[in-house]
Structure 1
Amino acid sequence: MRRCAAPRKWGLWAGSATMVAAGLTAFAFQWRSLVHAMAGLRTLFGRRSAAAHDPVAHVEVPVSWFVAGALVSGAGCVAIMRLWWAVPVSLGILAVLLAFVLSLVACRATGETDITPIGAMGKVTQLFYGVALPQQMQANLMTAGVTAGAATAAADLLTDLKSGYLLGANARRQTLAQAAGILFGTVVVVPAWYLLVKNAAVISGDNPQFTAPAANVWASVAELLSRGIESLHPTCRAGMLVGGLVGVLLTVAEKFIPRRVVAWMPSATGLGLAFVIEFHDSIAFLVGALVAAAYARWRPAQAETYVVPVSSGIIAGESLMGVLIAFLGAFGLLGGR
């Protein structure tokens, strides 16, 4: 029996269960978004009356563009999953179709609530392929990655297009610009990945350079589905049970408890994340939240104006410096590293 003695490993399972349960519960409360998204398919593929005249048809994206893009990108995803991750073609096609359906749900949820249920989208796919492809962690992760990636991109592009509509931009030109962004982004991202992540020790091990807490959650779910819950130590299973119950209860409470009380309740996602990430990161979050809360009580008007920009600048500065250090280390420009 595997041991679960390390506090970090135990916290990973408890925190993952909290976030997964909270995400799926919140997704269940958005069932109307699923219904509306499915109903929206009739608008997308339905026939338009020949007599009907759309004054903005010349700037809208035609359905033929969507079909062509879906066929090309879908075929590419299926081929890559088959060649590199041994996912059967039939299940690869199913993953693309599932990604399309869940992307509609993600877009609808983003449009209605400004919250994209990325985690829930991936977990739904992981649960499905945990049954369809048991004991295959890589295939489980890759198919879930297709779903979550499609949902994320679709929701982000929806936000871009909505901003364009508000500003009077041309939707066709926006779409072409986004397609160009895919091309140039791929050209840049792949070499950058190989430059920064030269071996697995950078993203895994006892002291990884890139902790990627969300990746740990995905990996833990894939490991659980491939090996079975019996492979976990009883304390890990107990942590998962408690974490799952806490995630469900907190999410349900947010829906039915008065808002003035909810303001004092911990976030299920934040609570679960604190178990997954490094302790010093959790402390940093706490210190930042306390400083922001104190500033908001001291100078409410100034806090409304400055807290978010200053916080964003701190996050961006730390991220950029981390990337700079990683590049300097990759080129051997940091002494002793």
Structure 2
Amino acid sequence: MSHDSSETETEPTGSRRVSEQVSRDGPAPYVPAGRSVAELTIKAVVTGLGLNVVLLTANMYLGMRSGMTISASIPAAVLSMGLFYGLRRVSVGGTILENNIVQTMTSAGEALAAGVIFTIAGVTFLDQQIDIAGTAAVAALGGFLGILFMIPMRRYLIVDKHEELPYPEGTACADVLEAGDRGAEGVKLISLGFVVSSLYMWLANGMAVFTTTIQTAFSAGETRGFAIGGDFTPALVGVGYIIGPRIAGYVFGGGLLAWMMLIPLLITGGFVPESAAGAPLMAQADAVWDQYIRYVGAGSMIVGGFYAILSMRETIVDALGTAVDELRSSAAAATDKRRRTQRDLSMKLVVIGAVLIGFSLVALPQVQVGLVGGFVAVVAAFLFVAVSAYLVGVVGSSSNPVSGMAVATVLIAALLLKSNGVTDPVVVLVTASIVAIAAAVAGDTSQDLKTGYLLGATPRKQQIAQGIGIALSALFAGWVLSFFHQAYGIGGETIPAPQAGMMALISEGVLTGTAQWGMILIGAVFAAVLILMNVPVLPFAVGIYLPITLATPIFLGGLLRGGIDSYTARNDDGDGTREEYTTYRGRIIAAGLITGEAVMGIVVGALYILEIGAPTGPPFPVGISGETRAILGVVAVVALLSFVTASILRNMPETADSAETAEP
């Protein structure tokens, strides 16, 4: 995509970042502060709203299926560039800052989806129906809190901590947008991944040509209940590829601990729930995981969440100090007197908005968490917004442990509300939902603001765009959640919604006194050991909580990423050309795999609801036997991995070394 005249005069990305042109506010932005470039336009807003709904839906499906969501910023940026590239043919086009507004609005839907599915979806585990209006109200209030509380933290986290906090997705998104001439290639890549993933899942779930799930349970000597397996789908492999081998390895390590150590110990020791006592070994393992192991994961997440807050104490204090300073600032230092690239929404809006939201939490009939619940929600939201914004600066939005923060909030809220006579676990979930959504949105907002900081965007316009995106996402969130519940049943095999189930489990257990405090304590102690060993707690805890069938394909994707990165490093001449090439292509293809499976999940779900095809199982089965389907499933996984590898490495640029050493 070409830039307008004001943009083409700026220095190229590479030379800008290598050079030492650094102002008092950090590196010189791509679009200088003194230039006026089209930014928050009707065209950008309409495009952003359309993509917002699509990726909101896709991430809600993915999150309830795998327990993890993926940042939508880069796919949105690529799609936006492709669309604007097409519009340029009819003399419409778009600027780089308009593209930035599009990805900002689009990623708002992904962020809000994470908070909703990790908490509000938990009401289905408590035999409650999805309240569409209530979901919209909670989602909007939590989302606006996340945006508001990020305003006083922006300068500290994004500008002052520029070198310390890289914000990987935000920086990568800026690189993608700056490399506008790669827009057409990016659209082709994400479309290729989308088509392959959609076809893969249609053959598996629409026609039952092959099975994606391969698992087994076995005994070793007198020890029973070892379980291993995987649900090898494109989305899960894509998740693993994006988060990389390190984080994927921690998730898989938690899964191995649960399914190859703790569950066998409990089954052999006779701790099998009575309802599964005579069932096959795999069913016994599933029952033990559901009854005991999930509490171990919950305990680990609780300690991990509190440890994250403790690690962030200086950031939280600094953010509070920044807010006070801005409220006391003189007119000469007011927002409208600052340079364009440093203008935020006013601190008065932050204070008034937070007060109004707190009042709404108590007064709105669709919410009504009470005075204690409202106080807990607002205070915890501010704390976890700081935690979330800092953590995504280190590990990225895709690895943001929103669920761990929600667990800590559920525990605190349940204990406080119980002491005030509250007995309804739904009230606890709604309180935690506000916090989880605020934390998720804050993490996304901070990534988007990092992108804008590098590009030279106006923070205030990005914050307004984020608010518009949150408003639309909130309106659709309840409908989408209700759709998936009708189509598949939240908590079922297709969309187990692990975090939502855990939230419901903890909130109900604390209020009724039936919580597995012993298992929670085991998880907490294990987390403390990990902290002493300097091992990230939350990815490991997620692995303990997830079914092994989800952790394994995520690890497989991470291994694929590690293998390609290693191959690239061995064949690079040190200038980073090949590494940049494979990193870009890999992330975009993986995003296409995730989006394709999510969209096909919507299609198959719609067929169920409309009663088209077979009433149970795949809508149009072709009648292949189970054993043959399993063999074809292995073939399909190998073909999928081969496709991803070949697509990433295809037409890799030659390096100087490889050119010199190549055989004639």
Checking the alignment, whether the CA contact within 8 Å between 1:98 and 1:147 is kept in structure 2 is yes
Q: Does 1:106 align with 2:372?
A: no
Partners in 1 of 2:372 and 2:555 — Cα distance?
Answer: 47
Equivalent residue, structure 1, for 2:15: none
CA deviation string 1:165-191 (max 9, x = no partner): 322222332233222212322332232
* Aligned with residue 532 of structure 2, among 231, 252, 255: 252
Please tell me whether residue 88 in structure 1 is matched to residue 370 in structure 2.
yes
Structure 1 residue aligned with 2:626: none
The equivalent position to 1:316 in structure 2, one of 575, 581, 595, is 595
Cα distance between partner residues in 2 of 1:104 and 1:287: 32
User: What is the distance in 2 between the residues matched to 1:33 and 1:4?
Assistant: 45
Question: Is the 1:130–1:225 contact (alpha carbons within 8 Å) kept by the matching residues of 2?
Answer: yes
Pick the aligned partner of 1:195 from 483, 486, 495.
483
Separation (CA, whole Å) in 2 of partners of 1:22 and 1:168: 36
Q: Is structure 2 residue 332 aligned with structure 1 residue 44? A: no
Question: How many angstroms does 1:214 deviate by?
Answer: 1.5
Higher relative helix content = 1
Residue 258 of structure 1 corresponds to: none
- Deviates further, 93-102 or 207-216: 93-102
Give how far 1:237 is off: 5.0
Query: Does structure 1 residue 136 correspond to structure 2 residue 424?
Result: yes
* Native 8 Å contact 2:376 2:431 kept in 1: no
Identity %: 24
Of 592, 608, 615, which aligns to 1:336?
615
Secondary structure, aligned partner of 1:61 = coil
1:12 aligns with 2:294: yes
Q: Distance in 2 between matches of 1:60 and 1:289?
A: 38
Report the Cα distance in structure 1 between the residues aligned to 2:425 and 2:550, rounded to whole angstroms.
28
Aligned-residue RMSD, C-alpha: 3.2
C-alpha deviations, 1:282-321, integer Å up to 9, x for none?
2222333333334444443567535444443333332232
Letter of the structure 2 residue corresponding to residue 331 of structure 1: L
- The 8 Å contact of residues 44 and 63 in structure 1, kept in 2 or not, is answered as yes
Q: Structure 1 residues 279 and 105 mapped into 2: Cα distance closer, same or farther (>3 Å)?
A: closer
Mapped partners of 1:321, 1:4: distance in 2: 37
Measured in 2, the distance between the counterparts of 1:30 and 1:217 equals: 25
SS in 2 for 1:242: helix
Q: Find out whether 1:33 has 2:302 as its counterpart.
A: no
Preserved contact between residue 196 and residue 327 of structure 1 (Cα < 8 Å): no
| TM-score under structure 1 length normalisation | 0.78
8 A Cα contact 2:406 2:435, kept in partner: yes
Match of 1:56 in 2: 339
Find the aligned partners of 2:394 and 2:551 in 1 and give their Cα distance.
30
Aligned-pair CA distance for 1:217:
2.5
Partner of 2:539: 270
Distance 1:44 1:125 in 2: 29
CA distance in 1, matches of 2:307, 2:379: 23
Which residue is equivalent to 1:287?
556
Distance in 1 of aligned mates of 2:372 and 2:542: 35
Give the Å deviation of 1:146. Answer: 0.8
Match of 1:259 in 2: none
8 Å CA contact 1:250–1:268 kept in 2: the answer is yes
Change (3 A) 1:221 1:296: same
> What secondary structure, in the 3-state scheme, does the structure 2 residue paired with 1:198 have?
helix
The amino acid of 2:446's aligned partner reads: L
User: 2: CA distance between counterparts of 1:94 and 1:13?
Assistant: 23
Alpha carbons 1:78, 1:89 under 8 Å: kept: yes
* CA distance in 2: counterparts of 1:280 and 1:124, whole angstroms: 26
Q: Which residue of 1 aligns with 2:503?
A: 218
Q: Secondary structure at the match of 1:319?
A: helix
Superposed CA offset, 1:231-264 (max 9, x none): 35xxx5554333222222113322xxxxxxx6xx
- Structure 1 pair 196/126, CA: closer, same or farther in 2 (3 Å)? closer
**Amino acid aligned to 1:56:** R
Contact 1:18 1:246 in 2 (8 A): yes
Partner residue, 2:406:
122
Whole-angstrom CA distance in 1 between matches of 2:615 and 2:375: 48
Q: Among residues 472, 496, 504, which one is paired with 1:184 in the alignment?
A: 472
Residues 92-131 of structure 1: CA deviation (Å, up to 9, x unaligned): 2442244234424433454577575534432343233222
Check conservation: 1:37, 1:105, Cα contact below 8 A.
Answer: no
3-state secondary structure, aligned to 1:197? helix
Structure 1 contact 25–248 (Cα < 8 Å) conserved? no
CA contact (8 A) 2:323 2:347 kept: no
How far apart are 1:202 and its partner, in Å?
0.6
**Out of 326, 331, 337, which is 2:605 matched to?**
326
Tell me what 1:161 maps to.
Answer: 449
Unaligned runs of 5+ in 2: 1-270, 274-286, 573-577, 617-664
- Say which is worse superposed, 112-121 or 185-194, in terms of deviation: 112-121
Report the more deviating stretch, 67-76 or 134-143: 67-76
Give the TM-score, by structure 2 length.
0.42
Q: CA deviation at 1:157?
A: 1.6
Deviation at 1:152, TM superposition (A): 1.6
Shift of residue 61, structure 1, vs aligned partner: 1.6
Matches within 5 A, 1:144-159: 144-159=432-447
Alignment-mate amino acid for residue 218 of structure 1: M
- The letter for the 2-side match of 1:99 is A
From 206, 210, 227, give the equivalent of 2:512: 227
Structure 1 residues 271 and 111, CA gap change in structure 2 (3 angstroms): closer
Asked whether the 8 Å contact 2:296–2:524 carries over to 1, the reply is yes
How many Å apart are 1:133 and its aligned residue?
1.3
